[in-house]
Structure 1
Amino acid sequence: MGTMIDIQAKDGSGSFKGYLAVPAAGEGPGIVLLQEIFGINETMRKVADYYAEEGYVVLAPDLFWRQEPGVQLEYSPAEWEKAFGFYQGFDQDLGVEDIDAAISVLKGLPECNGKVGALGFCLGARLSYLTACRCDVDAAVGYYGMGIENHLHEAVNISGRLVLHFAGNDEYCPAAARNDIYAALGDQEHVELYTYPGVDHAFAREGSEHYHKPSALMAHQRSVTAFRQVIGPHYDLSYLWDKHCEYEFDTRNVDDTMATMVAEPYVNHIPNMTGGVGYKNLYRFYKNHFVDVNPADTALIPISRTIGATQIVDELLFTFTHDRVIDWMLPGIEPTGKYVEVPLVAVVKFRGDKLYHEHIYWDQASVLVQIGKLDPHGLPVAGQESAAKLLDETLPSNTLMPNWPDSEGLDQGGAQ
């Protein structure tokens, strides 16, 4: 994965190391990654590798080098005690100077296109904020920083984009501190502030007792979106998704399909939990239970497409004749010969220029009604009618509501 490189301190006191991770493309915008109080440990290196997958040249400088080079602590009580010792002995102003030195090195690397952002966690989040105030970066992102409220007077110097993520239950950045930060920065156009209710410090660190995956995923999407908007890189996600679908449904080539995805992707068909997690299981699923089992007349009719910085949401009409066992949609059900039209939504997440995952949604009850396996009588479910209304919104609404006729003639206040 990454490598260690040398960074020369600007005050002439020596050099220190930094962990460098480069994207598969070999070049891209830069991110200086600012550590927690545990040093450039395995967690920080994984974050660097993760953002390299997103298309960034990531440099994580060893900011505790002036106390002890190469600090790599984990999360046992004894290691926590050591980490707080390094935190208490840390010279913040010299630390920001060392970050500035790392930024200069990063900008000078042939792999970096010259645009640079800062990303920090815990202590690193406060340093990311101060980097935005004191250094030449285009964007800065911080997760659950503490002490930022003591440096709000420096915010006038921020010229780039700033994104700060806060944990609602964080004792290190309590509500009073967040309120001060929101009051000072909340109305700034170039600043985004997010608080995640009910979560605690380190909610984005996998393995933490406070790890909260939904909040971590949302925060990551917001962070990468901010970086994409300001420093890039910019990918044609629509084209990448179309090629993936072409390999799935037109050429039906499993190897080409997998080549559009990250090393360890996953697919989850939400209604019936078919799919696969990881390359091996997903390849098996595509090869034996998806690509070659779709009926010949399968069609994906696009209705709408929403393209974000990190994902696509497709609204489709999915049609087919049930002339074979379709493992992924109707596992174990023998062919009925019925024609099916069902609305389908695909939420497709990317890392860099590769698909990371697909969340696919459809109304399984509607499919079962259309193939005659579910009697809709007395149930609030529809068959082909739901697909028809998707295409023609003027078709009657509320036909499954037995009390709908009772409200005719009543206004919104209930008066006759």
Structure 2
Amino acid sequence: MIISNHQHDIKTATGVMRTYRYSPVESGSYPCIIFYSEIFQQTAPIARSAAILASHGFHVLVPEVFHELNPIGTVLAYDDAGKDKGNQDKWNKPLESHDSDTVALIEFAKALPNCTGNVGAMGVCIGGHLAYRAALNPNIKAAFCLYATDIHSDTLPAKAGNNSLERMSDIKGELHFIFGKQDPHVPVDGRIKIYQACQQTGINFQWQEVNAQHAFMRDEGERYDAALAIQMYQQAVALFQRKLV
């Protein structure tokens, strides 16, 4: 399916958020996926991932997740300086601001003239956490969370009682968790902690651990696993076609 891409500056509770939209060109009404990036924002690999999803018949929105902390259009490099800046942003933005961003994105999606109004979420790294976090909103029908960081460790700033793991029981949609067994950012004890919470809360979830390192979806760098990435896209598309279409 041929796609087009667009830029939108969406008003949020904490300022204007540049958001990139990838949509099918063919006329019709399509559901929407909010695709949350890594700490580096919309890099070339993230844009390619969004395009792959959109070509399966979805509107895909890629927000600048740290819009309050950077000039519009900021893309951080995959180097030490970019990693340091991205991590600083991660620790400086409270989860409540991510929540209000999600509200704005859902409202934007529902107002799109050729959108069905059904919305899902997907993300990688901190974006996996944000996709999980988005699922706390009852409008999110499904979330595909790839190597989601900081859920197990409770290291992102939030008000008392708003911890992501502690709020898991608020999730009503279907969640898919995918983790790499060789990922140092979410070690085995952290994965066990999340899995046990899933079992205890009784949410609708699927769980998968693969032999891969952190960022195995990113098609730049030595950690990329193309075979696994293809499987993940297929699984994500299957989830969203089942829950959103």
Query: Which bin holds the TM-score, normalised by the shorter protein?
Result: 0.7 to 0.9
Q: Deviations over 1:115-136 (max 9, x none)?
A: 1100111011111111112352
Structure 2 residue 86 is matched with structure 1 residue 73 = no
Q: Which has the larger radius of gyration?
A: 1
Choose which of 115, 118, 123 in structure 2 pairs with 1:112.
115
Say whether residues 1:193 and 2:207 are aligned partners.
yes
Matches of 1:144 and 1:45, distance apart in 2? 18
Question: How far apart, in 2, do the equivalents of 1:189 and 1:81 lie?
Answer: 35
2:155 counterpart of 1:142: no
Give the drift of 1:90.
Answer: 2.3
Query: How far apart are the structure 1 equivalents of 2:234 and 2:114?
Result: 24
Q: 2:164 aligned with 1:163, yes or no? A: no
Aligned counterpart, 1:15: 16
Q: Which residue of 1 aligns with 2:128?
A: 125
CA distance in 2, matches of 1:14, 1:94: 10
Does the 8 Å CA contact 2:125/2:148 hold for their aligned counterparts? yes
Question: Does the 8 Å contact 2:37/2:126 carry over to 1?
Answer: yes
1:214, CA displacement in angstroms? 2.3
Query: What is the one-letter code of the residue matched to 1:58?
Result: V
TM-aligned CA deviation for residue 154 of structure 1: 1.0
Output the amino acid matched with 2:65: L
Q: Which has the higher contact order (CA 8 A, sep 6+)?
A: 2
Distance in structure 1 (CA, Å) of the matches to 2:10 and 2:67: 11
For the 8 Å contact 2:45–2:220, the answer to whether it is kept is: no
Q: 1:174 aligns to what?
A: 187
Structure 1 equivalent of residue 8 of structure 2: 5
Q: Say if 2:239 is the partner of 1:226.
A: yes
- What is the match of residue 38 of structure 1? 40
| 1:97 paired residue number | 100
Give SS of 2:183's match. coil
Q: Per-residue deviation at 1:229?
A: 0.9
Q: CA deviation at 1:223?
A: 1.4
For 1:25, the equivalent position in structure 2 comes to 26
CA–CA distance in structure 1, aligned partners of residues 87 and 53 of structure 2: 27
For residues 305-344 of structure 1, the C-alpha deviation after alignment (integer angstroms, 9 at most, x for no partner) is xxxxxxxxxxxxxxxxxxxxxxxxxxxxxxxxxxxxxxxx
TM-aligned CA deviation for residue 186 of structure 1: 4.4
Letter in 2 for 1:70: G
Going from structure 1 to structure 2, the CA distance change for 1:84 and 1:14 (only over 3 Å counts) comes to closer
SS in structure 2 at match of 1:215? helix
Which secondary structure state, in structure 1, belongs to the residue aligned with residue 166 of structure 2?
A: helix
Secondary structure of residue in 2 paired with 1:3: strand
Amino acid at match of 1:36: E
The answer as to whether partners of 1:23 and 1:57 remain within 8 angstroms in 2 is yes
Gap runs ≥5 in structure 2: 155-163
TM-score for both structures, normalised by structure 1: 0.53
Q: Is the 8 A contact 2:179 2:209 kept in 1?
A: yes
What letter corresponds to residue 137 of structure 1 in structure 2?
I
| Distance of 1:216 and 1:22 partners within structure 2 | 21
What's the offset of the Cα at 1:88?
Answer: 2.5
SS of corresponding position for 2:214:
coil
3-state SS of paired residue (1:138): strand
**Separation in 1, partners of 2:130, 2:138:** 11
Cα 1:104–1:36 shift into 2, 3 Å: same
Q: Does 1:58 align with 2:60?
A: yes
Q: CA deviation at 1:46?
A: 1.6
Shift of 1:25: 2.3
Letter in 2 for 1:31: I
Q: Distance in 2 between matches of 1:191 and 1:48?
A: 23
Deviations 1:258-305 (A, max 9, x none): xxxxxxxxxxxxxxxxxxxxxxxxxxxxxxxxxxxxxxxxxxxxxxxx
Query: Relative to structure 1, is the Cα distance of residues 189 and 158 closer, same or farther in structure 2, using a 3 angstrom cutoff?
Result: closer
User: 2:199 aligned with 1:202, yes or no?
Assistant: no
How far is 1:92 from its partner?
Answer: 2.1
Query: Counterpart in 1 of 2:159?
Result: none
Question: TM-score normalised to the size of structure 2?
Answer: 0.87
Percent sequence identity is 28
Instruction: Give the counterpart letter for 1:216 in structure 2.
Output: A
AA at the equivalent of 1:213: A
